[in-house]
Amino acid sequence: MARTQKLVLETWKIRYNFHSIAVLLLIAIVIAVVYLKGDSQGFVEQQKTPDESIPRCDLFSGKWVYDNITYPLYKENQCSFMELDFACEKFCRKDLNYQKWRWQPHNCDLPRFNATALLEKLRGKKLVFVGDSLNRNQWVSMLCLIESSIPSWSSKSLIWKGNSIVFKATDYNATIQFYWSPFLVESNCDEIKDHKGRARIIRFNAIEKHARQWTDADMLIFDSFVWWLEPKMTLLWGSFGSSDAIYKEVGKSYRPYEMALNTWSDWLEIHINRSRTKLFFMSLSPHHRVGEDWGRDKGRNCYSETEPILKDGYRGSDTDGRMMQIVESAIHELETRGLKIEYLNITQLSDYRKDAHPSVYRKFWVPPTEEQLANPNSYSDCVHWCLPGVPDVWNMILYSYIMHS
């Protein structure tokens, strides 16, 4: 009897120990599964974050931060595509701090430009900048950013073709092109090498001559503002040189701009392949011609300015909000017709940078007069941008949209 009780007791102990171990193992497995699931979710979230952060983050709201460690992103004299209109260091600008300001969005970081990744994205594709000299400013910046990051042995070329300047990265079969069309529609200023000093005549309802050069693009980046700011221009009904053409001179008005954008919109709606072509429109690039806006004496402008405006939300009187509204309205109307355009609103971030224009430090194709030389404010370029500089940030934002599209 005692022996039987002992065996039962031993058996119970074994079963107890087995169940205890089993329970402990089960608890351990549950904990491990929960941990791994949580860790896995964390890993997935980490993987998703770069792709999802761009849409959630406002890249256009932020501040300029001085950064002489990681900026500039390239050297002016090492960019073989640099143009004399934007080469401020070459034309004796001594203060180079304009190259060392980094744009910092308020709630995230601007993705670092990766030329190799962009060229892989553009492999076998064509990206075209369409617009005026500010769009050309951005295009040159793009080429400088790319050249500074790809191997010197990588084959590349630059070809002038009609109204276009075409960059090709041969190893990637990638094309990055600039197409001169300052009004988007036809005008008497459409010759890329000879368009200055003319009374402007705009054929506002004609775009096919230009647009047929864009139909095979995979990405189109438009801009058209500054050429519309003249105090007067002439509108043309009919063809240039036609005996029955009608010309009408008008003062500064927003209506011609609206009519031209309607022509542009109608063409896009009919001709753009929605499954292939990505569309972008760069917002107005602000001028800094009124120094009174930031506390300077009357008659002063961007000349001799060496620091950005640090007042949050600053907007200069030269920045035409009405023109921006017209573009935004045209883009919204196209979206209602099923055509998506990314509007990259770089106006505010650029408005802070009164220090970043060429001013007198550029090639002037018509030499300044003695009277102008005596007053540098009178011939300072406060419209375009030095490179490296502000357009690099435009391209970093464009890059983030392209890479996450």
Does the CA dihedral 104-108-109-113 come out positive or negative? negative
Cα separation, 342 vs 23, in Å, equals 58
* 133 tagged catalytic: yes
Question: Where does 76-189 have alpha helices with state H?
Answer: 115-121, 133-147
Give the C-alpha separation, 205 to 186, whole Å.
Answer: 8
Closest CA to 267 of 213, 225, 227: 213
- Structure tokens, 86: 């934007």
> Which of 133, 164, 224, 283 is the catalytic position?
133
H/E element, 11: helix 2-56
Q: Residues 132, 351, 381, 392: which is the catalytic one?
A: 381
Strand partners, 174: 169
Q: Identify any residues that bridge with 187 across adjacent strands, giving them in sequence order.
A: 202
**Which residue's entry shows tokens 């022509």?**
263
Catalytic site includes residue 381: yes
- Side-chain half-sphere exposure of 223, counting CA atoms within 13 A: 26
Does the annotation count 384 as an active-site position? yes
Handedness of CA 253, 255, 256, 261 (dihedral sign): positive
- What backbone phi and psi angles, to 5 degrees, belong to 229? -95, 10
Catalytic residue, chosen from 132, 350, 384, 400, is 384
Residues tagged active-site: 133, 381, 384
